[in-house]
Amino acid sequence: MPNYIKPTLTITANRNSASTNPGPLSVALSLAGTDSLSVDAVTSEIQTITTAQKILIDGSATNGGPGVGGVAGGWVYMKNTSTASATNRLYIGTNTSANNAAVDLIGSPGAQVNRLFTLRPGEFAFFPFDYNMDIIADANADQTLEYWLFDRNDS
């Protein structure tokens, strides 16, 4: 019997002329999305990410490895749970190096083709993942990352 998670994302903003918390647009914004996702396994970890790159999720070793998009795979939730700092960053990317070693994600813009996104303290991401590569993390200072991997029920 499948189990379900129900992710919900709501984005709201005031219009840019609002006297309190003005938004980025000339109109107020209200977006919402929700889904019921069938999962069969959950993995959760809290990792300390240092200035040495680290493989977080080995795609080939995760519940059978890569498969057909939209069938095998799952969803990943990540949050930088570190104490707020204006300069600390946690970098998330993919690993496509020939020797399967984690690659540097911090370099100058354009040089790091493997970087997907950056999380500042308190920021989070939720995204689908087809297990077709490794997900790696890097940081410019010690950061704490909490992640959850919800395996898609492909039956």
pLDDT, position 29: 96
Which of these ranges, 35-44, 81-90, 114-123, has the smallest mean pLDDT? 81-90
Which CATH number is 139's domain given? 2.60.120.770
pTM of the full structure: 0.86
pLDDT digits (tens, 9 = 90+) for 107-137: 655 556 688 999 999 999 999 998 888 899 9
Distances (CA, A) of 117 to 27, 50, 72, 83, 142: 28, 17, 23, 19, 17
Q: Name the residue with higher pLDDT: 90 or 107.
A: 90
How many domains does one find in the chain?
A: 2
145 and 107 within one domain: yes
Query: Are 14 and 52 found together in one domain?
Result: no
Q: What is the pLDDT of residue 65?
A: 66
8 and 53 together in one domain? no
Q: How many CA atoms lie within 13 A of 17 on its CB side?
A: 2
**Beta-bridge mates of residue 150:** 42, 75
Q: Note whether 68 and 120 are same-domain residues.
A: yes
Q: Which structural domain range is residue 24 located in?
A: 1-35
